[in-house]
Structure 1
Amino acid sequence: MNYIVSTLVFGAIVWWFALGPGRKAGESLSPFTRKVAGLGAGVVGIALGMKGRWDFAIVLVSLSAWLLGFRLPKMFDPIGNARKSQIRTLALLVTIDLGSNEIEAQVLAGRFAGKRLDQIADRDLVMLAQDLAKLDPSGLALILNDLDRRSPGWREHVQVDPQAGARDPRAASAEMREDEAYQILGLEPGASEESIRAAHRALIARLHPDRGGSTALAALVNRAKDVALAARR
């Protein structure tokens, strides 16, 4: 019984700091906090497994793996069944997987149409940026951080409009459709206000620049939340 109580208390503490309502919207766990919580959950999980408490051990080890950034089979992933958020511009389709924390971009037009961003060689990123600067400045704004990380000197060869992301019509105007807003939030139309706010918090937390996000992506998510909430009033 003591093991059960201790495990529940420890799990509640980890959940509170990692996913719980005590977190502010947009707040992202620091790498140090994730590592400490992940290692702690792993140690307790292994100890419980050695005692034969596999039920609690599996939960804690799965939580540990998630906090430490490992990919899990869906049956063990605490949020592996979460929906995917999709943001479409003229030349890009950006997908945010809430289960794996991954942000993926697929090119829809230009020389690299049909390829994912991670399939394009670093040496070709300048050409991709040139295509997007002409075809889809708003789409370019969504992947600036990826370009900066993989090809630091790309800006020397591409003229970037600093206002491109801010002028994205779906981020800055009232013309974002309700169905687009729900698609960005990864929700079905008619979702509850609580679900809308929870999806918004989860997305914003995953859009920190260190995790592949950007201010342009965050602006779209914020706008989607406003549109979805307004549709319920």
Structure 2
Amino acid sequence: MLGRLILLIAFILAVLTIIQLFKNTPKSQTKSLYWKVGLSASAIILILLAASGRIHWIGAAIGAMIPIVRRSIPLLLRYFPMVQQYLRTRPQQSPSANNTSEVKTAILSMTLDHDTDRLQGQVISGPFSGHYLDSLELEQLQSLMGYCHQQDKDSAKLLMSYLNHRFGNQWQTSPPPSGDGNLTEDSAYAVLGLHRGASRDEVIQAHRKMMQKVHPDRGGSDYLAAQINQAKDILISKLA
């Protein structure tokens, strides 16, 4: 009876001590404290079970788990390369302490503020590199979309999310530009994902590939299709 009373008092004191520890620990360190408390509690429970002669059931549980683990190993070995490949190719996403999420692709870096639902982004490579998306006009963003479609599908999907967030459906229903003055030669190269010095055949091939991806009949944008056609016309006229 006395032994049980001592154990009860020790348990109450331990709980009070743990509560005080959590109160005095900064939030940034609570995760590590959870681990320490959990490991310490597990060690104490194992010691008490060993002292009371009741630890035999742990061995039985481990024995029951062995066949399950042995059957699972081939499955893990089979699917591990697939999981590894997915982790390598997916866009990098990282949560931050101020309730925001950041997603990076080969061309874009995007940040979502979960409190305000504000989506911000920056171009980190290719045309408009270093520019913030908020500083670009719709026509410039359409040119960037063409480049993303050519170079990186993840970037194209990410930019499409930004365009829908900022413009709604307007960016897909806006009237297409007319006249060569809407696109510069550099922008035309960017839309088709080409560099200066590209040959006429390269321009035609890039145009064909782009139109296969973004043609309105395949769910693409009328505006973007018009930009791609205009980019081809500008470059072909320069190479004539």
Give the TM-score, by structure 2 length: 0.36
User: Structure with the greater relative contact order (CA < 8 A, sep ≥ 6): 1 or 2?
Assistant: 1
Greater Rg by CA: 2
Give the TM-score, by structure 1 length: 0.37
Which structure has greater helix proportion? 2
